[in-house]
């Protein structure tokens, strides 16, 4: 300092960035199968998984209609049109952390 005595430097840096929030959310909301996103920050509220669409065209039509209706209501929804087997599709959505799944099938 001005009097010749050493000064202890002080610094404060405070901030909550997006990456810190995401890391904290993942740390608090996960299990052995993947992330369990809290609904307000989940990438999608629900995933629509059509089963048997390759055998029954009405399955995909109904899944698409449901998707469009939910989106029109402001719900963050994704339609899984990849044609995967049910177990593979369910595992993917669980790993990603989509909280809800709706299955559309001929039954």
pLDDT tens sequence across 18-61: 898 889 999 999 888 888 888 888 889 999 999 998 899 999 99
pLDDT at 97: 87
CATH class of the domain at 18-104: alpha beta
Query: How confident is residue 1, by pLDDT bands cut at 50, 70 and 90?
Result: confident
Rounded distance between C-alpha atoms, residue 14 and residue 34, angstroms: 30
pLDDT for position 11: 83
User: Please, what is the average pLDDT of the chain?
Assistant: 91
> Which three-class secondary structure string do you get for 78-107?
EECCCCCCHHHHHHHHHHHCCCEEEEECCC
pLDDT of 102: 97
Q: Per-domain residue ranges for the chain?
A: 18-104
pLDDT band with cut points at 50, 70 and 90 for residue 87 = very high
CA trace torsion 92, 96, 101, 107 (10° rounding): -10
pLDDT at 62: 97
């Amino acid at each position: 300092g001005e009097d010749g005595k050493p000064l202890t430097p002080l610094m404060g840096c405070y901030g909550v960035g997006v990456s810190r929030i995401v890391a904290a959310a993942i740390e608090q909301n996960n299990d052995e199968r993947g992330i369990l996103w809290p609904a307000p920050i989940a990438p999608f509220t629900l995933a629509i998984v059509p089963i048997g669409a390759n055998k029954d065209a009405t399955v995909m039509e109904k899944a698409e209609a449901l998707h469009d209706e939910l989106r029109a209501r402001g719900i963050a929804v994704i339609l899984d049109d990849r044609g995967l087997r049910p177990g593979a599709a369910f595992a993917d959505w669980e790993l990603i952390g989509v909280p809800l799944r709706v299955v559309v099938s001929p039954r």
